[in-house]
């Protein structure tokens, strides 16, 4: 059963990933005078998204609110997919 905390953590993760995506869209194809500032924004957003994901996964592991659902396994370079 899903809990309110899980739902809130998913919301935070989605928002953080959205902010990361928006920051990445701000990167130009070639460095310019503002590149360092934009890159710093991208890196900050990436760190926030990574932290939000870790918090979500930690909650799932400790709380067990996804019991009965197929586990999700992360593999380097592969999009997350539920296992059958």
E strands, the chain, are 72-75, 78-82
pLDDT truncated to tens, each residue of the chain (84 aa)?
568 899 999 999 999 999 999 999 998 877 788 888 999 999 999 999 999 999 999 998 888 877 655 555 555 554 544 443
> What is the reported pLDDT for 74?
54
Provide the token pair at 72: 């999700």
> What is the reported pLDDT for 83?
40
> What is the reported pLDDT for 81?
42
Q: Which domain holds residue 31?
A: 4-82
Q: How many angstroms separate the CA atoms of 5 and 7, rounded?
A: 5
> What is the reported pLDDT for 62?
87
Return the H-helix or E-strand segment holding 10.
helix 4-25
> What is the reported pLDDT for 67?
61
Q: What is the number of domains present in the chain?
A: 1
Q: How many angstroms separate the CA atoms of 78 and 80, rounded?
A: 6
Instruction: Note the pTM of the prediction, 2 decimals.
Output: 0.71
């Amino acid at each position: 059963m899903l809990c309110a905390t899980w739902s809130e953590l998913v919301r935070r993760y989605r928002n953080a990933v959205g902010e990361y995506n928006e920051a990445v869209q701000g990167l130009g194809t070639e460095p310019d005078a503002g590149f360092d500032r934009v890159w710093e924004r991208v890196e900050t957003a990436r760190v926030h998204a990574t932290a939000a994901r870790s918090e979500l996964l930690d909650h799932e592991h400790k709380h067990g609110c996804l019991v009965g659902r197929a586990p999700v396994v992360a593999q380097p370079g592969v999009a997350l997919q539920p296992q059958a």
